[in-house]
Amino acid sequence: MNRSARERLAEAGDRLRRPREALGEAPRAKKSLGQHFLNQPAICQRIAGLLRAGEDDAILEIGPGPGALTREIEALPHRRLVLIEKDAHWAKVRQEEGEARTEVLCQDALAYPWEALEGPWKLAGNLPYNVASPLLWEIAARCRALSRAVFMVQKEVGERIAASPCTRDYGALSVWMQAHLACRMEFTVGPGCFTPPPKVDSAVLSFDPLPEHARPSRPELLASLLRLCFQQRRKQLGGVFRRQGREDLLQRLEELGIAPSARPEELAVGQFLALSGCRPDGASPVSSPASS
């Protein structure tokens, strides 16, 4: 082997041993952080456009990563833009490469104090698949400053969020999200639009908060009812409540005219609100169109 070939081999070995960042390269996408980066500017533009941003808007993006969506949001009229990124590498890159006035927080969005956000704020993000459901659950109930949100999630999660009663996808997440927000399935995106490509399709949804009077007055009661009901979604409500010794819920079923033989998946969002004691009437909240 001649000298230069030996040198090239050693160099290649070195490159393998040194972290990619030290070589000025982007680190490998981290599976643990759900890193599938959008590689289609047109999709990012479409997501950003759904925010309907105006000059006075404060916008917060969750998980900007290398910034494909961030750049489109930065191009929109806005007053303030805050990014929350858990990966220290990408938070630093955004700080260095983004617009000077864009604020970057390197932290876990799951630990963000959503109730402390003073509004109004618009939220956006191509959410990491592994945290999307718990994160949206928290944001829906705790982020009172929310004026509109546009999120990309795994298509299956999007379908669960926007599902109607009596369908396979309807469950606790559907009721919870629709009790707080009007949830709309906007469009779906295939795996080829990401690097690296995920194994599943994705969906973009928009969210608008329901008026205060239509939201659960005591979300913790609704949350515990949903846990109770959807742990056994095929069981009849009367039986579920009887086995748990929940005379109060059995009585409320009767007062609301809901048959004890009804199953959790058959109840409308408004009926869950009434049953949990969050709203008296059981009327449906403002409609939550689920188109695709």
Nearer to ligand SAM, 150 or 278 (CB): 150
| Nearer Cβ to ligand SAM (65/209) | 65
Rounded to a whole number of angstroms, the minimum distance from the CB of residue 1 to ligand SAM is 42
Residue number with CB closer to ligand SAM (84 or 273): 84
Q: How far is the CB of 289 from ligand SAM (least distance, A)?
A: 25
Q: Residue 58: enclosing H or E segment and its boundaries?
A: strand 58-62
CB of 92 to ligand SAM, least distance (A): 12
Quote the crossing angle between the two packed helices 269-276 and 247-255, to the nearest 10°: 130
Q: Which is nearer to ligand SAM, 153 or 249 (CB)?
A: 153
Residue closer to ligand SAM (CB basis): 12 or 75:
75
Which positions lie near ligand SAM, rule CB under 6 A? 33-38, 62-65, 68-69, 84-87, 90, 108-110, 126, 128, 131
With respect to ligand SAM, which residue has the nearer C-beta, 21 or 255?
21
- By residue count, the chain amounts to 292
Give the nearest distance from C-beta 27 to ligand SAM in angstroms: 10
Query: In the chain, what is the straight-line distance between the N-terminal and C-terminal CA atoms, in Å?
Result: 61
CA distance 234 to 214: 28
Whether the CB-CB separation of 184 and 206 falls below 8 Å is answered with yes
Distance CA 288, CA 222 (A): 18
Least separation, in Å, of the C-beta of 213 and ligand SAM? 32
Minimum distance, C-beta of residue 100 to ligand SAM, in the bound complex (Å)? 20
Segment 208-215 long-range contacts (CB within 8 Å, at least 24 positions apart): 208/148, 208/181, 208/182, 208/184, 209/146, 209/147, 209/148, 209/180, 209/181, 209/182, 210/179, 210/180, 210/181, 210/182, 210/285, 210/286, 211/286, 214/279, 214/285, 214/286, 215/179, 215/180, 215/285
Q: Which two tokens stand for residue 19?
A: 């972290």
Using CB atoms, what's the residue nearest to ligand SAM? 63
